[in-house]
Structure 1
Amino acid sequence: MPYDEWTAAQDSATVTVDDHEVEMAYRDEGAGNPVVFLHGIPTNSYLFREQFEAVAAERRAIAPDMVGYGNSEMTDGFDRSIRAQELAVRDLVDQLGFDTIDFVGHDLGGGVGLRYAARTPEAIDRLVLSNSVAYDSWPIQTITDLGLPETARETSVEELQEMLDGLFRQTLFGDDHDEAFLDGMKTPWSSEASVTSVVRNASATNTSHTTEVDPSDVTAETLLLWGTEDEFQPIEWAERLEGDIATCELIGLEANHWVPEDRTVEFTDHLTGFLL
């Protein structure tokens, strides 16, 4: 599915982040017990397009764009940290009327899921973390540099597009990259407002928001789907999570950081086997 078709099928809700009302775009398909997918930085819900469709065939699937990302609101002036993203997702879940959910998170989205499951164990039945931030594993230098305030003032749209294209091409596994995926990852960052937004997103990467939660508080049955070649969130962090979460299985996949894209078939098979 091309990115423009994905966004054309999105809904939108007004969620509250602290005292700010912010628009959050999301896909919502299927019926049954809900599964929430949440991406990381600098991606959007399109990252999970294949897994979303597979799950929506048998269950209700919800895939938001985090606030400040994708097709969600990008205006300056609200928090985009994973603490704030957790508030936004919880508000969306409440508006959709769900008491409990299954949660699938990649990168920062995994950090949101980890907080959600540790702080309210009764709210998450099953948890899937893919190359997730945890403990003090983050932020990485690339994101720290991107989050400098002068980056927003000094970077053009063209420069940001070139940087993102290089980032994904250099860190996707192998050489045969899906141009539709690359288009979907870059398109949201193609305006001056989005340049500021991605910088604010990067500056909001706060290690304290994972170090303040204890993964041993997670009671959800947990699956870790991890790229074994990840240079951003190495598999050692997954091994630590596996030791700290009571009911947890780690599956390593030969992939870099973008595992749902690098190993689409294997990732989807493991995911649906766990959730369906």
Structure 2
Amino acid sequence: MREHTDVVDAIPMRWLEHGEGTPVVFVHGIPTSPELWRHVLPRVTGARCLAWEMVGYGQSIPAGRDRDISVARQAAYLDSWLRQLGIERPVLVGQDLGGGVAQILAARAPERVAGLVLTNSIGYDSWPIPSVTMMQRLAPGLRLAPDVALYPMFVALLRRGHDDRARAAESIGLHWRHYATHGAARSLVRQASALNVQDTLAVADRLPELGLPARVVWGEADQFQKVSYGQRLATDLGTTLERIDGGRHFTPEDHPDRIAAAVDDLVTTSG
């Protein structure tokens, strides 16, 4: 796995890269980073896999200060990064917020996208989830809270999102380190405060018209993004929902084989 950074429109952007071939771009959600895809990228075959870090997340948390880090704006940042790297028509793979970013970019410029793979993604009016809405309401006070006060909430959130306990423990340490480094309370509040359901509602009616190859893979037991939304996305994108029995929210970490297989299948059939 290779780590890269580049400056795009005066913004430092980071990504992880693995393999060669058809470009496939992976976008994470909250509260994660490109490392969300660490077990998926090595399993994808015949593709140049690039896991992009959203502005204001992971190691790029400082870049989000005083910038718009909404989901809709992330789609614009992603497009600028793709253009700078000279990547044309990649397959976009998104989980959680990253799925919303992928939908928005595809809706804005379908000619720039070769296909979509969505797994336990936000969409329509499925978000923000209650814990994020609470953070938005309590933002003024939470910004001043010590990091140790946010850690139990962070741990509980990730545990609820995993069906693999060992992978949950691994993921908690991996993703928390970015918040611990850059100030957990301020960073999480900044991320939560930027979330607005109108970003996905604005493109919802365009999804059935995209005509792009798509795969939708969903953990059936996800408590954050209900499987009914996965079914709705699959229907609108003209594909069949692939359900992961017992799977929860963080499918790229708990079920990397299933996600990699969906990517491989789409790359093969769309190529």
TM over 0.5: same fold?
A: yes
Tell me how many residue pairs correspond in the alignment: 263
1:68–1:198: 8 Å Cα contact kept in structure 2? no
2:243 maps to a residue whose letter is G
- Residue 83 of structure 2 is aligned to residue 94 of structure 1: yes
The CA deviation string for residues 47-98 of structure 1, in whole angstroms up to 9 with x for no partner, is: 111111223x521111111111111142521111111111111111001102
Correspondence for 1:131 among 117, 120, 136:
120
Distance 1:138 1:179 in 2: 25
Q: Which residue of 2 aligns with 1:150?
A: 140
Correspondence for 1:11 among 4, 17, 26:
4
1:14–1:22: 8 Å Cα contact kept in structure 2? yes
Task: Give SS of 1:145's match.
Answer: helix
The CA deviation string for residues 78-120 of structure 1, in whole angstroms up to 9 with x for no partner, is: 1111111111111110011022110000000000101111121
Task: Give SS of 2:93's match.
Answer: strand
Task: Give SS of 1:248's match.
Answer: coil
- Residue 55 of structure 2 is aligned to residue 62 of structure 1: no
1:224–1:251: 8 Å Cα contact kept in structure 2? yes
1:155 Cα offset (Å) = 2.1
1:10 Cα offset (Å) = 1.8
Structure 1: unaligned runs, 5 residues or longer:
1-5
- Residue 202 of structure 2 is aligned to residue 209 of structure 1: no
Distance 1:98 1:62 in 2: 11
Distance 2:76 2:177 in 1: 26
2:167–2:253: 8 Å Cα contact kept in structure 1? no
- Residue 111 of structure 2 is aligned to residue 122 of structure 1: yes
Distance 2:187 2:143 in 1: 11
Q: Which residue of 2 aligns with 1:185?
A: 175
1:117–1:219: 8 Å Cα contact kept in structure 2? no
Deviates more, 1:143-152 or 1:232-241: 143-152
The CA deviation string for residues 109-148 of structure 1, in whole angstroms up to 9 with x for no partner, is: 0001011111211111110011111111111111112234
2:256 maps to a residue whose letter is T
Matches within 5 A, 1:226-241: 226-241=218-233
1:177 Cα offset (Å) = 3.5
Distance 2:198 2:112 in 1: 22
- Residue 242 of structure 2 is aligned to residue 251 of structure 1: yes
Distance 1:267 1:86 in 2: 22
Task: Give SS of 1:103's match.
Answer: strand
1:258/1:212 CA distance change after superposition, 3 Å: same
Percentage of pairs with the same residue: 32
1:30 Cα offset (Å) = 2.5
1:152/1:12 CA distance change after superposition, 3 Å: farther
2:58–2:178: 8 Å Cα contact kept in structure 1? yes
- Residue 18 of structure 2 is aligned to residue 29 of structure 1: yes
Deviates more, 1:128-137 or 1:211-220: 211-220
Q: CA RMSD in A?
A: 1.9
Distance 1:46 1:192 in 2: 17
Distance 1:29 1:172 in 2: 25
1:249 Cα offset (Å) = 2.4
- Residue 37 of structure 2 is aligned to residue 45 of structure 1: no
1:174 Cα offset (Å) = 4.6
Deviates more, 1:260-269 or 1:250-259: 260-269
Distance 1:58 1:96 in 2: 19
Distance 1:156 1:191 in 2: 13
1:197 Cα offset (Å) = 2.0
TM-score (norm 1): 0.88
Structure 2: unaligned runs, 5 residues or longer:
none
Distance 1:151 1:138 in 2: 22
1:22–1:73: 8 Å Cα contact kept in structure 2? no
2:96 maps to a residue whose letter is D
- Residue 65 of structure 2 is aligned to residue 105 of structure 1: no
